[in-house]
Amino acid sequence: MAPVFNSLLLSWALTKGVAAWGSLGHATVAYVAQNYLTSDTAAWAQGVLNDTTTSYLANIASWADQYRATTAGKWSAPFHFIDAEDDPPTTCDVDYDRDCGDTGCSISAILNYTQRVSDGRLSVDHTEEALKFLVHIIGDLTQPLHDEAYEVGGNDIAVTFNGYSDNLHSDWDTYMPEQLIGGYSLSDAQSWANSLIEDITSGQYKSMATDWIDGDTTSDPVTTATRWASDANAFVCTVVMPNGSAALQTGDLYPDYYNSVIGTIELQIAKGGYRLGNWLNLIYSSGIAKRDLNAEDQLQSRDRDTLPEPELVSRDIPAASRSLSRAQLAREAMGGSCCSSGKRKHAP
Ligand SMILES: [Zn+2]
Ligand SMILES: [Zn+2]
């Protein structure tokens, strides 16, 4: 019996996968965003992605997690988070200069791919890659533990959730959202998104949504994304571990802890989708539409040879070198990985 049981457990673990917000969270962020795209932005995104289905953003929302798990994509692992070196629950704050590592972070990646996606000189493949990174990373940024260095974003905080031995990070990414929705398929994500859209349109989020995007500008992606990261990071002190991490290790997180945080998870998914939709509209209106309009003029009036060469690789320009902090050393030890939710086992 044992081998059968083990292989079942293994295949179950493999289907659960390793994700950041899990695939459910990312697809939900994508469906919420799709709802807010203008028809011009939507047509542009569908063209870039070569996908005219009704799930064009949701279909690629977790691509960056799959890519990161490959040998070729390992370099992109740091783009999924920013390790805020704060001191929760006493102090929470994000400092881009302090916290964005030498190999880049979510915020520098948003800067890079926002510029690249509307560059117009990149190959079709690189433009598509830039859009896929943006759809994913703007989602990750709203998960509070993706904006936190403490215990590798909670990956090293062992907890029990609903009878399973988990880590806190994967419960936030995957298991608590799935507990709420009861599945992780695209149709689960679509129906979760529909209910969040209703909350934004006429429900509990209606009065907040304008603030979620207040000041967002593609002319300053670092300031904009740092504001998003700081907003999510603040929840680490107030909601994720208001009494410190040890308080989360004294019993099952279900149902009391789950009930205390699930509203924040829903809020952050809604916010991520709303921001992503607005960001892509801004990219379209300030970049793509103007570029297309001016393309002919530019060709006539500017010598194309004087334009700077676009980066030929898809990587960020690294920040200045500095010695690694304790949290960064811990990330290195994890091989740049983010989440270890694929090895889930029932608590003994
Ligand atoms: Zn994650
Ligand atoms: Zn991710």
Tens of pLDDT, residues 240-291: 999 999 999 999 999 999 999 999 999 999 999 999 999 999 999 998 888 7
Least confident of 98-102, 236-240, 257-261: 98-102
Q: Is 126 a catalytic residue?
A: no
Active-site pick, 63, 99, 126, 136? 136
Active-site pick, 126, 146, 331, 344? 146
SS3 18: coil
CA–CA distances in Å: residue 18 to residues 74, 96, 199, 343: 14, 27, 29, 9
DSSP characters over 54-91: TTTTGGGTTHHHHHHTSTTTGGGGGGG------BTTTB
Per-residue confidence (pLDDT) for residue 316, from 0 to 100: 43
Please give the distance, rounded to the nearest whole angstrom, from the Cα atom of residue 173 to the centre of ligand 2.
9
Please give the distance, rounded to the nearest whole angstrom, from the Cα atom of residue 134 to the centre of ligand 2.
11
Please give the distance, rounded to the nearest whole angstrom, from the Cα atom of residue 246 to the centre of ligand 1.
20
pLDDT band at residue 305, thresholds of 50, 70 and 90? very low
pLDDT band at residue 1, thresholds of 50, 70 and 90? very low
How far does Cα 180 stand from its chain's mean position? 19
Mean pLDDT of the chain: 87
Active-site pick, 63, 65, 279, 331? 65
Q: Is 346 a catalytic residue?
A: no
Please give the distance, rounded to the nearest whole angstrom, from the Cα atom of residue 19 to the centre of ligand 1.
6
Residue 64: nearest ligand to its CA?
Answer: 2
Per-residue confidence (pLDDT) for residue 347, from 0 to 100: 63
Question: Does 106 score more than 90 pLDDT?
Answer: yes
Q: Is 125 a catalytic residue?
A: no
Please give the distance, rounded to the nearest whole angstrom, from the Cα atom of residue 80 to the centre of ligand 2.
4
Per-residue confidence (pLDDT) for residue 331, from 0 to 100: 74
Per-residue confidence (pLDDT) for residue 290, from 0 to 100: 80
76, two tokens: 């992109």
One-letter amino acid of 308 = P
Active-site pick, 86, 99, 140, 188? 140
Q: Which pairing describes strands 158-161 and 345-346: parallel, antiparallel, or unpaired? A: unpaired
Per-residue confidence (pLDDT) for residue 313, from 0 to 100: 47
| Average pLDDT of the segment spanning 103-127 | 95
Per-residue confidence (pLDDT) for residue 337, from 0 to 100: 56
Please give the distance, rounded to the nearest whole angstrom, from the Cα atom of residue 228 to the centre of ligand 1.
16
User: What are the pLDDT digits (tens) for 36-67?
Assistant: 999 999 999 999 999 999 999 999 999 999 99
Per-residue confidence (pLDDT) for residue 302, from 0 to 100: 45
| Average pLDDT of the segment spanning 30-34 | 98
Active-site pick, 173, 188, 231, 316? 173
Residue 341: nearest ligand to its CA?
Answer: 1
Per-residue confidence (pLDDT) for residue 323, from 0 to 100: 61
Q: Is 136 a catalytic residue?
A: yes
* 103 within 8 A of 75, measured Cβ to Cβ: yes
Which domains, ranges and CATH numbers included, belong to the chain? 19-339 (1.10.575.10)
Per-residue confidence (pLDDT) for residue 12, from 0 to 100: 39
pTM of the full structure: 0.86
Please give the distance, rounded to the nearest whole angstrom, from the Cα atom of residue 151 to the centre of ligand 2.
17
Please give the distance, rounded to the nearest whole angstrom, from the Cα atom of residue 175 to the centre of ligand 2.
15
